[in-house]
């Protein structure tokens, strides 16, 4: 697309050119979901990311690692990046103990509530800008495929006419041809990969629900996201954020270093190259472009495949009955399919009425096939103990107690449960709130052979064997564990999966995961443009990124301090 074509495109879409902050350098944030610093380096060396490789080696861009902190999840990262506060985000799923309600940020209403809490404390990094393919919106003026805004009445999505939609495609027919053939290729790769895995005796997951997720996230959403960013560049939006989630989905399904996951990176790399080209050819302002990940992904082995039974079954006497899932479908896939339903309903609002029937019927079909969501009920109605896993971490709540409990109370109230968890070989440690010592909150890390007591600075003392002695965690992880354990919605106990044969134990049915303290999921990357001398390698928690970006690109005076946190009641 040339400048004239881009201008024609955004005018046909009813989007005016941006008049915000004229003359000021713009900011483009491109996120490659779940790609660790280590996986990035391996992919650069093996030419899965040819454009990013040239950018770093010959383009003057600087590649640095940074530590994302706990929990290493997309909703926590995005909320921290956009608002600088996220202590209320305990992963993907957690319990509000006051009400017994389970919060799941893959549900639009819960994502909106999470964002509203952060927005009450600090201004959004993306105010006046745009956001594409995200869980929260960061205060952006324009958004597409954002969960927290699906169905939001105060932000109606404009519906396009059939002529406007056809114009969008006719402006770039190559995109349409590529999308069709790429979709067919993804279906073929998934089927061949599944057959190959069965033949080689590797662990595989059910294919039918993921096949649909794969095509939509790795092809359709990727293309829509890239095109929307290019339109925003032509409009001159002051700040633009885009998330490419295809690698993350394939990493969960096959593993972070699986061939199918790395092939997804080639498509993402090509779209990033197109965005850079669009900025150079018809950007309405100068932009600094940052390419980064929110966290990494660690190879995992599901708890059930390692031990022969799920964690729920292991604690069956204390837990709710098993969910009635369709054959071959796991809880993790159910969550992704529910997210897919929400995004399909947003697409049905955007496309012309004549075309809206397709995404609407697809959403209706998936919804009919899914079991009722037990998280919409209070766990107190049917379970004394609630387990809410996110890959290799799992929150444990004693539901009959409305206030957060320290680990000492958990040991006292559930001694048999405690012995089973601490002594289980698939669990590295049980982490939680400890006690208050002279006004200082202490977090506890308990294993079968020793204890660690961590203060807010990350310093710790031990009883028995040091739990961190052989753990091989990143430097400074103790401080992040303390912060996580004392966060408002963390479990009364937090389980951390052990390592088995270089794979972290996953409390869900996934072969790649993230959330916990292992280096593969903790060490993300940042590719920064020439002239930016900030040392990202010193970042120990993703909320620190907000301070840098807000101060450098969004504050009214360059170099001003980031907006202070507003305390809420």
- pLDDT digits over 184-228, tens only? 777 777 677 666 666 655 555 555 555 666 676 778 788 889 988
Are 254 and 186 in contact by the 8 Å Cβ rule? The answer is: no
The reported pTM is 0.87
Read off the DSSP letter of residue 470. Answer: T
pLDDT recorded at residue 509? 86
pLDDT recorded at residue 328? 40
Q: Is the pLDDT of residue 169 over 60?
A: no
Cα separation, 186 vs 222, whole angstroms = 13
Which is higher by pLDDT, 559 or 565?
565
Left, alpha or beta for 32 (phi > 0: left; psi -120 to 50: alpha)? Answer: beta
Q: Is the pLDDT of residue 1 over 60?
A: no
Mean pLDDT on 86-102: 91
pLDDT recorded at residue 206? 53
Q: Label residue 472 by pLDDT band (50, 70, 90).
A: very high
Q: Label residue 320 by pLDDT band (50, 70, 90).
A: very low
pLDDT in tens, 355-391: 667 777 777 877 777 776 656 554 445 567 888 899 9
Judged on CB neighbours under 10 Å (0-12, 13-18, 19+), 303 is buried
Q: Is the pLDDT of residue 319 over 60?
A: no
pLDDT recorded at residue 229? 93
Read off the DSSP letter of residue 310. Answer: -
pLDDT recorded at residue 322? 36
Cα 529–Cα 531–Cα 534 angle in degrees, nearest 5: 85
Are 127 and 234 in contact by the 8 Å Cβ rule? The answer is: no
Which is higher by pLDDT, 4 or 551?
551
pLDDT recorded at residue 162? 47
Which is higher by pLDDT, 452 or 372?
452
279: tokens are 């900025």
Q: Is the pLDDT of residue 330 over 50?
A: no
User: What is the distance in angstroms between the CA of the first residue and the CA of the last residue of the chain?
Assistant: 50
Cα separation, 89 vs 104, whole angstroms = 10
pLDDT recorded at residue 249? 87
pLDDT recorded at residue 460? 98
pLDDT recorded at residue 399? 86
- Angle between helical axes of 162-170 and 353-369 (0-180°, round to 10): 90
The HSE-up count of residue 115 (CA atoms within 13 Å, CB side) is 28
Cα separation, 84 vs 36, whole angstroms = 22
Rg of the chain on CA atoms, in Å: 23
Report H helices in 283-392. Answer: 303-307, 311-314, 331-350, 353-369
Q: Label residue 533 by pLDDT band (50, 70, 90).
A: very high
Mean pLDDT, the chain, rounded, equals: 84
What is the DSSP track for 132-158? Answer: EEESS-TTBSEEEEEGGGTT-TTSPPP
**Best mean pLDDT range from 6-15, 159-168, 541-550:** 541-550
Cα separation, 180 vs 437, whole angstroms = 62
Residue 463 CA to chain centroid, in angstroms? 36
206: tokens are 């059910």
What are the angstrom distances between the C-alpha of 543 and each of 87, 440, 463, 466? 10, 22, 32, 29
> Which residue matches tokens 């790795």?
218
Judged on CB neighbours under 10 Å (0-12, 13-18, 19+), 371 is exposed
Are 244 and 268 in contact by the 8 Å Cβ rule? The answer is: yes
Cα separation, 305 vs 566, whole angstroms = 46
Cα separation, 279 vs 272, whole angstroms = 11
pLDDT recorded at residue 324? 42
Low-confidence winner among 82-96, 169-183, 248-262, 505-519 (lowest mean pLDDT): 169-183
Which is higher by pLDDT, 80 or 47?
80
Q: Is the pLDDT of residue 149 over 60?
A: yes
Are 33 and 293 in contact by the 8 Å Cβ rule? The answer is: yes
Cα separation, 363 vs 212, whole angstroms = 12
Judged on CB neighbours under 10 Å (0-12, 13-18, 19+), 476 is middle
268: tokens are 């993402």
> How many C-beta neighbours within 10 Å does residue 131 have?
32
Q: Label residue 346 by pLDDT band (50, 70, 90).
A: low
Q: Label residue 33 by pLDDT band (50, 70, 90).
A: very high
Cα separation, 381 vs 417, whole angstroms = 20
Which is higher by pLDDT, 509 or 190?
509
Are 523 and 296 in contact by the 8 Å Cβ rule? The answer is: yes
Judged on CB neighbours under 10 Å (0-12, 13-18, 19+), 329 is buried
> How many C-beta neighbours within 10 Å does residue 328 have?
13
> Which residue matches tokens 């064997």?
465
135: tokens are 């869980």
Q: Is the pLDDT of residue 283 over 70?
A: yes
440: tokens are 């200082």
What is the DSSP track for 183-248? Answer: HHHHHHHHHHHHHHHHHHT------HHHHHHHHIIIIIHHHHHHHHHHHHHHHT-SEEEEEE-HHH
Mean pLDDT on 144-172: 62
Cα separation, 103 vs 318, whole angstroms = 21
pLDDT > 90: percent of the chain: 55
Among 471, 520, 474, which residue's Cα sits nearest to residue 498?
Answer: 471
Among 327, 361, 324, which residue's Cα sits nearest to residue 345?
Answer: 361
């Amino acid at each position: 697309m040339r400048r004239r074509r881009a201008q024609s495109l955004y005018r046909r879409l009813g989007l005016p050119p941006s008049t915000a902050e004229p003359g000021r350098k713009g900011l483009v944030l491109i996120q490659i979901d779940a790609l660790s610093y280590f996986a990035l380096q391996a992919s650069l060396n093996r030419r899965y990311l040819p454009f990013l490789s040239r950018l770093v080696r010959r383009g003057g861009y600087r590649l640095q690692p940074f530590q994302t902190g706990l929990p290493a999840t997309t909703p926590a990262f995005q909320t921290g990046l956009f608002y600088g506060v996220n202590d209320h985000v305990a992963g993907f799923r957690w319990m509000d103990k006051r009400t017994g309600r389970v919060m799941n940020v893959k549900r639009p209403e819960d994502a909106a509530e999470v964002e509203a809490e952060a927005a009450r404390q600090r201004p959004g990094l993306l105010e006046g800008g745009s956001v594409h393919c995200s869980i929260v919106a960061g205060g952006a003026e324009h958004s597409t495929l954002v969960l927290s805004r699906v169905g939001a009445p105060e932000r109606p999505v404009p519906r396009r006419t059939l002529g406007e939609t056809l114009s969008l495609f006719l402006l770039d027919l190559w995109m349409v041809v590529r999308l069709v053939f790429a979709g067919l290729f993804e279906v073929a790769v998934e089927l061949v990969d599944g057959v190959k895995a069965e033949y080689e005796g590797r662990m595989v997951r059910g294919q039918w629900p993921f096949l649909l997720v794969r095509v939509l996230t790795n092809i359709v959403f990727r293309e829509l996201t890239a095109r929307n960013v290019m339109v925003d560049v032509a409009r001159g939006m002051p700040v633009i954020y885009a998330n490419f989630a295809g690698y993350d989905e394939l990493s969960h399904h096959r593993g972070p270093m699986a061939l199918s996951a790395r092939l997804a990176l080639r498509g993402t790399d090509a779209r990033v190259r197109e965005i850079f080209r669009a900025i150079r050819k018809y950007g309405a302002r100068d932009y600094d472009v940052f390419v980064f990940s929110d966290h990494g992904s660690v190879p995992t082995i599901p708890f059930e495949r390692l031990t022969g039974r799920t964690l729920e079954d292991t604690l069956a006497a204390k837990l709710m009955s098993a969910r009635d899932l369709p054959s071959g479908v796991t809880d993790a896939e159910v969550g992704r399919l529910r997210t897919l339903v929400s995004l399909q309903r947003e697409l049905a609002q955007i496309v012309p009425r004549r075309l809206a029937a397709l995404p609407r019927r697809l959403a209706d079909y998936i919804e009919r096939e899914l079991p009722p969501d037990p998280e919409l009920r209070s766990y107190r109605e049917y379970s004394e103990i609630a387990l809410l896993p996110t890959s290799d971490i799992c929150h444990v709540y004693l539901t009959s107690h409305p206030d957060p409990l320290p680990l000492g109370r958990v040991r006292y109230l559930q001694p048999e449960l405690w012995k089973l968890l601490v002594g289980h070989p698939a669990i590295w440690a049980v982490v939680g709130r400890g006690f208050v010592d002279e006004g200082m909150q202490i977090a506890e890390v308990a294993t079968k052979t020793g204890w660690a007591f961590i203060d807010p600075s990350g310093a710790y003392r031990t009883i028995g064997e040091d739990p961190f002695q052989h753990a091989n965690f990143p430097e400074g992880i103790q401080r992040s564990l303390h912060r996580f354990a004392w966060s408002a919605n963390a479990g009364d106990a937090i389980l951390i999966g052990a390592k088995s044969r270089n794979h972290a134990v996953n409390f869900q049915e996934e072969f790649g995961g993230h959330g916990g303290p292992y280096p593969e999921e903790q060490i993300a990357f940042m590719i920064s443009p020439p002239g930016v001398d900030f040392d990202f390698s010193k970042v120990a928690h993703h909320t620190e990124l907000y301070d840098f970006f807000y101060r450098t690109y969004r504050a009214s005076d360059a170099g001003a301090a980031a907006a202070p946190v507003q305390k809420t009641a």
